């Protein structure tokens, strides 16, 4: 982590919700700990909250803000917020004047353990009305525009989570479970036994640190997503298909920027259960792991919001997801045991249906 005092000036980027919930703590505590008392007086851009604002118009606002303040490449942009702010601020900074430094202070659990680490930055893409592809693909493509650019620092302060709604906490928890499943039996047991009421305790801070360290170890070995990083797709083949289906359902109600009614991590949890079932059937993952995940899902996340009439569209989503297909068949990251992932495992449509049936039976 680079010493943040080395930058000439600091600019802050956040969203409206985080400005209300977290900025007072950031200014009163985090700024002091970082020896950056000037943070409280730093020029600050506050954007509206939510994935629907993760777009070029917001990036334009960030560039306008930086130009208006005559920011230079010796300055620093500090992103304070969830994954949306960290992804978008990272992208705007790394393209401003061919790249200024940025740091992240993630304020959601998902951003702490996932989005703020690994150097992927970017925004969602919606074709303009003039685009030849707008009639082919009128919908928004998530994270389709971006660059790989590492933050100069990521500052983790679990106390910022105290204002986070429980749904958002569970969303990040699912990504932590994914990391633990990939990592090994001990981290998985620790996480599954953890009392979620204790999220501001030092013990939880330690679990967050372990989860981040695991993601860092994977992304450092494969910074540009050419191979090993694929293990991080665990739970996401089925999870992304469920998320896309929920977004489509909300699109039918004609809202201009449809979003999933379930946070991303909920869909990951459903995906982890379905893919654990596949892992048991195809690679011999012990059945007790499938049971432990299923219990966790039922207790905290509730039943997956899908039924057998959704199987066909879900399979179609998976078949059309380029990340998960090889010559027309669906491939997933599966587990032969906790801590032993296998990437690019071919799954038949019949096996997938069986896994979805299992998920729906819970």
Would you say 237 and 351 are in contact if contact means Cβ atoms under 8 Å apart? Answer: no
What distance in Å separates the CA atoms of residue 347 and residue 350, rounded to the nearest whole number? 8
Integer-rounded Cα radius of gyration of the chain: 20
Nearest 5°: the CA angle 31, 146, 127 is: 125
Nearer to ligand NAD, 262 or 264 (CB): 264
3-state secondary structure of 309: helix
Residues 30-59 that bind ligand NAD (CB under 6 A): 49-51, 54
Q: What is the 3-state secondary structure (H, E, C) of 208-248?
A: HHHHHHHHHHHHHHCCCCCCHHHHHHCCHHHHHHHHHHHHH
Q: Which is nearer to ligand NAD, 34 or 85 (CB)?
A: 85
Q: Report 103-122 residues binding ligand NAD (CB under 6 A).
A: 107-108, 110-111, 114-115, 118, 120
Shortest gap between Cβ of 124 and ligand NAD (angstroms)? 7
Convert residues 168-197 into a mask of x (bound to ligand NAD by CB under 6 A) and - (unbound).
x--x--------------------------
Q: What b/e sequence results for 75-95 when a residue is b if at least 16 CB atoms lie within 10 Å of its CB, and e otherwise? A: bbbbbbbbbbbbbbbbbbbbb
| Distance (Å, whole) CA 326 – CA 329 | 5
When the beta carbons of 47 and 278 are compared against ligand NAD, the nearer one is 47
Assess 82 for contact with ligand NAD (CB under 6 A).
yes
**Joined tokens for residue 360:** 């729906």
**HEC profile for 103-155?**
EEEECCHHHHHHHCCCCEEEEEECCCCCCCCCCCCCCCEEEEEEEECCCCEEC
Give min distance, CB of 168 to ligand NAD, in A: 5
Of the pair 163, 325, the CB lying nearest ligand NAD is at 163
Does 22 contact ligand NAD by CB under 6 A?
A: yes
Least CB distance to ligand NAD at residue 175 (A): 7
Q: Which of 95, 126, 143, 343 binds ligand NAD (CB under 6 A)?
A: 143
Among 75, 87, 150, 310, binds ligand NAD (CB under 6 A): 87
Residues that bind ligand NAD (CB under 6 A): 15, 17-18, 21-22, 49-51, 54, 81-85, 87, 107-108, 110-111, 114-115, 118, 120, 142-143, 160-161, 163-164, 168, 171, 264
């Amino acid at each position: 982590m680079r010493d943040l005092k080395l930058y000439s000036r600091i600019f802050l980027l956040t969203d409206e919700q985080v400005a209300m919930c977290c900025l007072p703590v950031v200014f009163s505590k985090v700024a002091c700990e970082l020896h950056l008392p000037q943070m409280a007086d730093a020029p600050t851009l506050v954007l509206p909250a939510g994935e629907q604002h993760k777009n070029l118009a917001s990036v334009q606002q960030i560039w306008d803000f930086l130009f208006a303040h005559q920011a230079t490449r010796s300055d620093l942009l500090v992103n304070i917020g969830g994954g949306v702010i960290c992804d978008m601020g990272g992208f705007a900074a790394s393209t401003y004047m061919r790249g200024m430094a940025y740091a992240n202070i993630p304020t959601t659990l998902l951003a702490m353990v996932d989005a703020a680490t690994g150097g992927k930055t970017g925004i969602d893409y919606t074709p303009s009305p003039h685009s030849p592809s707008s009639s082919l693909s009128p919908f928004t493509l998530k994270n389709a525009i971006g660059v790989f650019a590492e933050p100069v620092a990521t500052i983790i302060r679990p106390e910022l989570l105290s204002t986070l709604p429980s749904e958002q906490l569970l969303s990040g928890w699912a990504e932590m479970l994914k990391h633990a499943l990939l990592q090994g039996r001990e981290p998985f047991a620790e996480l599954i036994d953890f009392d979620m009421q204790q999220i501001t305790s030092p013990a939880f801070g330690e679990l967050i640190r372990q989860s981040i360290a695991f993601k860092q170890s994977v992304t450092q070995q494969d910074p540009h997503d050419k191979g090993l990083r694929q293990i991080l797709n665990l739970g996401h083949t089925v999870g992304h298909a469920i998320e896309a289906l929920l977004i489509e359902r909300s699109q039918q109600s004609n809202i201009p920027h449809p979003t999933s009614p379930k946070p991303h991590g909920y869909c990951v949890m459903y995906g982890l259960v379905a893919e654990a079932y596949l892992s048991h059937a195809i690679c011999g993952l012990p059945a007790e792991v499938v049971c432990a995940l299923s219990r966790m899902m039922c207790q905290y996340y509730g039943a997956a919001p899908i039924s057998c009439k959704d199987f066909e569209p879900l399979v179609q989503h998976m078949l059309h997801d380029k990340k998960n297909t090889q010559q027309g068949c669906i491939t997933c990251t599966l587990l032969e045991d906790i801590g032993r992932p296998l990437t690019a495992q071919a799954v038949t449509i019949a096996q997938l249906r069986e896994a979805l049936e299992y998920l729906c039976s819970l």
